[in-house]
Structure 1
Amino acid sequence: MPTPQAATHAVHNQPPPPGPFDLWADDIGLRDALAREGADAFAAHIATYAALAGGELLRLADDAHRDRPRLKTHDAYGRRLDRVEFNAAYHAVMDAAISHGVAGLSWAQPQPGAQVARAALSYLHYQAEPGSSCPLTMTHAAVPVLRQAPALGAWADKACAFAYDGRDVPMADKRGVTLGMGMTEKQGGSDVRANTTRATALGADGEYALVGHKWFFSAPMSDGFLVLAQAAGGLTCFLLPRWMPDGQRNRFRLMRLKDKLGDWSNASSEVEFDDAWAYRIGDEGRGVPTILQMVMLTRLDCMLGSAGLMRMALRQAVHHARHRSAFGKRLVEQPLMRSVLADLALEAEAATALAMRVAGAVDRAPHDPHEAALARIATAIGKYWICKRAPGFINEAQECLGGIGYIEETLLPRLYRQAPLNSIWEGCGNIQCLDVLRALAREPETGAALRAEWQAAAGLNAHFDAALQAGMAMLAAGSDETGARAFVERLALLLQGAALLGARHPLARDWCAARLGPAHAATYGSLPAGIDIDTALDRLAATA
């Protein structure tokens, strides 16, 4: 008689699969920031997208990320295609994002708060499928650059459209288009003035032929690309379309797709231009100033994306801690775990508050000199600091899950691979610090904007006031390049403190004690005495 099979695989004390999440309902900080920065009129629209992002898009992201893009250089008969093919899930994600305005809302509905609302959509989308945020961000940021050239009005209009069309066909046959970017070359990296790609003027006004290469050609599946090349008058900005105006394929060759650490759902490539047709934007020699507005907007999305990654990682950690027990208690009841989770909550809330404050400054910049100056300097400061904090934050969230946090079936390995990208893309940390030093030296209104922002929070917290006094002296003295990182870090902390205190944020006092006070420690969970852990964790109560 056979021996009954032993029940060796009983599963207990394991959390249920996380999600779907309502990324609006469980993020009090986002809801408060939206109201504070003047975008309450868009709340219902954003809430709708938040539910979609935390459910269907998060599910689609699994296939979009797992099934990486593939480069198809030729068809079966030897004709060049230079086409990137994607899983259907990627196209579904892009369609949902563009149809809800992740790329175009701020331009299609230009009213007060529109930039803040689009920033919120970007923050939410990044939590669901960050790879597709690359073409979404560049499409959004390219619009004000394209509008500098009246002849490219149709391109700008279609970049704003709430219509996604993933077909590889000429722009004239599409209701909506996406944009990529080509700035970096092998020999120059961030030093774009060292670019060697040459642009030769053709007979028609504004038309050029480009010969050269790009070491990073972002989102090569896009319909058009903003690129920098050396014309007779110096470094110049161009729109280089996938298809030429005569309906022929443009003369560029995709050499390979980059094999990246993360960001697997998105394609990045190397490209060579062989008399590729391009249209000039701005004057010859003014390439960097022409494209700067795009760069400021993409850097804003870097900090929004990092804040979003933090929020999703925290959500995963809290879910696990609420359903897993150890040593006779749920993890969320264990004092040390509570301290870690509360510290992560402080960091995530501060990242969101600062990113949305900068979005508000960008929104009001066209009509408010203070906000314009603040947007100019705070974009670089916030991009440096928030993006630097994300990888360590997500690793700490992984630790909250233990070994399973390192397993691919959970979301955290994907978030962890994605986390370093935002500190690299659109200028690494050193570039951001140099930009801050340059702005303070050449645009004194940026320093005045920082002082005004800080002083608005003076007298609200003793730790902040002490740091403010030191910060004012530091800002007056300035910094050389050697000390630029410590200098910018301090500027960022003061901006975060001012954003939280100015908002009367419930965690502002504890954040100031933990980040600006004398007991500040380097690792998460090393909170000073007196921190109200219950309040920090209570704000996460809606997280399933």
Structure 2
Amino acid sequence: MPTHEVTNQPPPFVDHDTYGSDPVLVEGIARWVPQEHREEAGTELGDLGRLAGSARAAEWAERAQRNTPRLITHDRWGHRIDEVDFDPAWHELMSTATGTGLTGTPWVGPEGGAGHLRRAAGLITWSQVEPGHICPITMTNAAVPVLRHSPELAARWEPLLASRTYDFGLREASTKAGAIAGMGMTEKQGGSDVRAGSTRAVLTPGGPLTGETYRLTGHKWFCSAPMSDVFLVLAGTAEGAAPSCFLVPRVLEDGTRNPFALQRLKDKLGDRSNASSEVEFDGTWGALVGEEGRGVRTIIEMVASTRLDCILGSAATMRAALTRAVHHTRHRRAFGAELVDQPLMRNVLTDLALESEAATLLGLRMAHALDEGDTELTRLGVAVCKYWVCKRTAPVVAEALECLGGNGYVEEHGMALLYRQAPLNSIWEGSGNVNALDVLRAIGKEPGSLMALLKVTGEARGQLTELDRALDELERDVAGLAGADATELAVGARRLVERLALTLQASLMVLHSPAPMAEAFVASRLGGGHGETFGTLDPTDVAGAAGVAIERAGVSL
């Protein structure tokens, strides 16, 4: 006879809709997508959300994480091939992301003026399945505006990068139905200081590439997604010269393989399904993108887009952790009641739900600004939001994991993956210090970007006293930046960015979220009604916001 029966355990977290169950996404599409395109967008995102919440997608994610990429340097006959082998599940994930238009589609397709917003909602929806494969999806999208600095290269590659067809394998571009892009910027002696790179590019006219051709020699310490078709790489054209940006394909236009030696794959804390590599260039062909010596300025176009995806990916990680916590507590009883009804647990879940909703709103608002062509807002806003949302992800996931107790620490329950993934976006595309200092540079060089951000934060003026007070204090402090010396500004950069982000989040919550949630967010984040950890909301705020916050945070199973 059995020694026990299994009771008081939640059912599997499958068969739900990650889009339709998220009111922030659904409302964002209804708010910012033109009416004539809303139904189409909602239908496509709903289909994606149901697939994302399916057992089939969960199996793809588990297999892609378990069967990590394998480097194959040589074929059976000893030829150097430098390839990476992936589990078939990886290709299913990539095919879905590409087929839904999460690569370069918003830059070229008629999306009703809201292509970036639709993609943002789709990225949050789909990356909750498995975040590792989103890295090459992100870079493919971000490569499109960079290549437009060289129209001849854009004409050749843009249709492939914007294609909804995933066509894996190293072949000459003209034979492919779609292409994936990677990038190689950092070197081991430089890291974020890309101007310290030692890779050199020598002008070599007449090479087997479209455009002005060079041969590159050097290394890259982090080359993301090395099985991509084409890469954007920084290299200097002379000793001490400012870096230039180059397009480096894996296969040349004459069908031969470009020298591209993969030294090893990184053994990473998270993002394990995605291959990150070290690569050596030895006479590797590249085509100049943009102006010589202006590589950093050229590549900034890519960084702006990838930073936006850091915001979206972190918001997705928060949402995935939150929904798992709500699911568990709705189906687990302790001390005579369901966990979700225990007063202190309601405080924790409500607090996490406020953080998740505010993060998602930030990401969608930045995507909407991109659709509007509001470059002043995105120049500063993306850096501010990237810093803050990515920093908040790790503590959110840690608290959500704790809601599951011991099960949260076990791989098969899904939280361990999210916990390992949570710190990544704070590092990728500039750590916290890099982003905070970039905010200072943007304010100094482009004052209009600060005015654009303050304009958005001020849209909710007059609705909550505590928000108005915070806005007044922020504007006074910002006015005093002009008189501060450089050291004082740098030391206070993180604090400034936090305040900019929080007031922007509060404004968006007041404008777009249910009133009880907005009031609780403002009271806790700006009014001092919060402790040092999640679950320390004032009891009055919990009583007002818990019902609607937990309902918006959950999924129906």
Structure 1 length-normalised TM: 0.96
Instruction: State the alpha-carbon separation in 2 of the partners of residues 167 and 235 from structure 1.
Output: 30
Give the secondary-structure state (helix, strand or coil) at the position aligned to 2:216: strand
Q: Secondary structure at the match of 2:53?
A: helix
The 5 A counterparts of 1:323-342 are 323-342=331-350
- Identify the match of residue 391 of structure 2 among 385, 388, 391: 388
Amino acid aligned to 1:171 = A
Q: Deviations over 1:348-407 (max 9, x none)?
A: 000001110111111111xxxxx3211110100000000000011001011100000000
Counterpart for residue 143 of structure 1: 144
Contact kept in structure 2, 1:34 and 1:356, CA below 8 Å: no
Tell me if structure 1 keeps the 8 A contact 2:33–2:114.
yes
* d(CA) in 1 for partners of 2:556, 2:128: 14
Q: CA deviation at 1:419?
A: 0.7
Partner residue, 1:185:
187
Q: Is 1:87 matched up with 2:87? A: yes
Task: State the distance in 1 between where 2:257 and 2:453 align.
Answer: 48
Tell me whether 1:488 sits opposite 2:490 in the alignment: no
* Distance 1:510-1:213 versus aligned 2 partners, 3 A rule: same
Counterpart of 1:350 in structure 2 is 358
Q: What letter matches 1:411 in structure 2?
A: G
In the alignment, which residue of structure 2 is the partner of 1:17?
A: 12
How far does the alpha carbon of each residue in 1:421-446 deviate from its partner, in whole angstroms, 9 at most, with x for none?
A: 11100111101001000000110101
Provide the C-alpha distance between the structure 1 equivalents of 2:252 and 2:550, rounded to a whole number of angstroms. Answer: 56
Change (3 A) 1:45 1:349: same
Structure-2 separation of matches of 1:536 and 1:511: 11
Out of 24, 27, 36, the residue aligned to residue 32 of structure 1 is: 27
Please name the residue that 1:97 is paired with: 97
Q: CA deviation at 1:270?
A: 0.2
- Contact 2:461/2:468 (CA < 8 Å) preserved in 1? yes
Larger CA deviation: 106-115 vs 133-142: 106-115
Q: Point out the more displaced range, 81-90 or 462-471.
A: 462-471
What SS does the corresponding residue of 1:466 show, helix, strand or coil? helix
Q: Does 1:537 align with 2:550?
A: yes
Q: Deviations over 1:483-533 (max 9, x none)?
A: 111111111001101111222543211111111112222211100132111
Alignment partners' CA distance in 2, 1:47 and 1:498: 28
Q: Distance in 1 between matches of 2:537 and 2:356?
A: 15
2:78 matched residue in structure 1: 78
Match of 2:484 in 1: none
Match of 2:232 in 1: 226
**C-alpha displacement of 1:30:** 1.1
Alpha-carbon distance between aligned partners in 2 of 1:297 and 1:498, rounded to the nearest angstrom: 23
Q: Find out whether 1:250 has 2:258 as its counterpart.
A: yes
Shift of residue 313, structure 1, vs aligned partner: 0.5
Tell me the CA shift for residue 104 of structure 1: 2.9
Distance 1:409 1:542 in 2: 19
Report how far residue 448 of structure 1 moved: 0.8
* Deviation, structure 1 residue 46: 1.3
What is the CA–CA distance in structure 2 between the aligned matches of 1:76 and 1:97, rounded to whole Å?
33
On the 8 A contact 1:21/1:54 being kept in 2, the answer is: yes
Name the counterpart of 2:164: 162
- Choose which of 501, 505, 513 in structure 1 pairs with 2:523: 513
**What is the distance in 1 between the residues matched to 2:508 and 2:335?**
39
Identify which of 356, 359, 364 aligns with 2:367: 359
In structure 1, how many angstroms separate the alpha carbons of the residues matched to 2:277 and 2:133? 15
Alignment of 1:272-291 (within 5 A): 272-291=280-299
How many angstroms apart in 2 are the aligned matches of 1:296 and 1:274? 30
Contact 1:306 / 1:390 at 8 angstroms: preserved in 2? yes
The residue aligned with 1:368 is none
Q: Is the 8 A contact 1:318 1:543 kept in 2?
A: no
> For each residue in 1:206-228, what CA deviation from the matched residue of structure 2 results, as whole angstroms up to 9, or x when unmatched?
10000000000011010010000
The 8 Å contact of residues 326 and 554 in structure 2, kept in 1 or not, is answered as no
Residue 206 in 1 paired to residue 209 in 2? no
Q: 1-side partners of 2:551 and 2:221: how far apart?
A: 47
With 233-242 and 222-231 compared, the bigger mean Cα shift is at: 233-242
**2 CA distance for matches of 1:50 and 1:469?**
41
Equivalent of 2:402 in 399, 408, 412: 399
Check conservation: 1:134, 1:266, Cα contact below 8 A.
Answer: yes
**Cα distance in 2, alignment partners of residues 108 and 65 from structure 1:** 32
Q: Aligned AA for 1:78?
A: G
> What's the offset of the Cα at 1:450?
1.9
Task: Indicate the SS of the match to 1:481.
Answer: helix
The residue aligned with 2:51 is 52
Matches within 5 A, 1:421-436: 421-436=424-439
1:245-324 matches, within 5 Å, as: 245-324=253-332
Q: Distance in 2 between matches of 1:488 and 1:543?
A: 37
Equivalent in 521, 533, 548 of residue 523 of structure 1: 533
Q: How does the TM-score come out when normalised to structure 2?
A: 0.94
- Distance in structure 1 (CA, Å) of the matches to 2:452 and 2:495: 20
CA distance in 2, matches of 1:104, 1:47: 21
Distance 2:188 2:99 in 1: 36
Name stretches of at least 5 consecutive residues in structure 2 with no aligned partner: 482-487
Structure 1 equivalent of residue 123 of structure 2: 122
For the 8 Å contact 1:200–1:231, the answer to whether it is kept is yes
Distance 1:364 1:58 in 2: 35
CA contact (8 A) 2:16 2:555 kept: no
- What is the RMSD of the two structures over their aligned residues, measured on CA atoms? 1.3
Work out the number of aligned pairs and report it: 534
Shift of 1:541: 5.0
1:71 touches 1:257 (CA, 8 Å); kept in 2?
A: yes
Distance 2:556 2:222 in 1: 38
AA partner of residue 104 (structure 1): G
Q: Specify the SS of the correspondent of 1:161.
A: coil
Distance (whole Å) between structure 2 residues aligned to residue 538 and residue 418 of structure 1: 26
> Paired residue for 1:462?
465
> How many Å apart are 1:10 and its aligned residue?
1.4
**Deviation (angstroms), 1:251:** 1.0
| CA deviation after TM superposition for structure 1 residue 413, in Å | 0.2
Secondary structure in 1 matching 2:264: strand
Q: Among residues 448, 469, 494, which one is paired with 1:445 in the alignment?
A: 448
**1:316-337: CA deviation from partner (whole Å, max 9, x where unpaired):** 0011001100011110110000
CA distance in 1, matches of 2:58, 2:381: 31
Larger deviation, residues 274-283 vs 226-235 = 226-235
Deviations 1:151-198 (A, max 9, x none): 221211100011001122222211100000000001111111111100
CA displacement at 1:199 relative to structure 2: 0.4
Q: Distance in 1 between matches of 2:215 and 2:204?
A: 7
Matching residue of 1:107: 107
Match of 1:63 in 2: 63
Shift of 1:59: 2.5
* Residue identity in the other structure for 1:203: P
Residue of structure 2 in register with 1:476 after alignment: 479
Q: What is the DSSP-based 3-state SS (H/G/I as helix, E as strand, rest coil) of the residue aligned with 1:480?
A: helix
**Change in CA separation of 1:541 and 1:275 when aligned onto 2, cut-off 3 Å:** closer
Name the residue aligned to 2:485: none
SS at match of 1:102: coil
2: CA distance, partners of 1:208 / 1:178: 22
For 1:211, the aligned partner's letter is: T
Deviating more after overlay: 81-90 vs 107-116: 107-116
Cα separation, 2, equivalents of 1:358 and 1:251: 39
In the alignment, the residues of structure 2 paired with residue 475 and residue 69 of structure 1 have an alpha-carbon distance, to the nearest angstrom, of: 48
Tell me which moved more, 490-499 or 51-60. Answer: 51-60
Q: Which amino acid aligns with 1:480?
A: L
Name the aligned partner's letter for residue 218 of structure 2. Answer: G
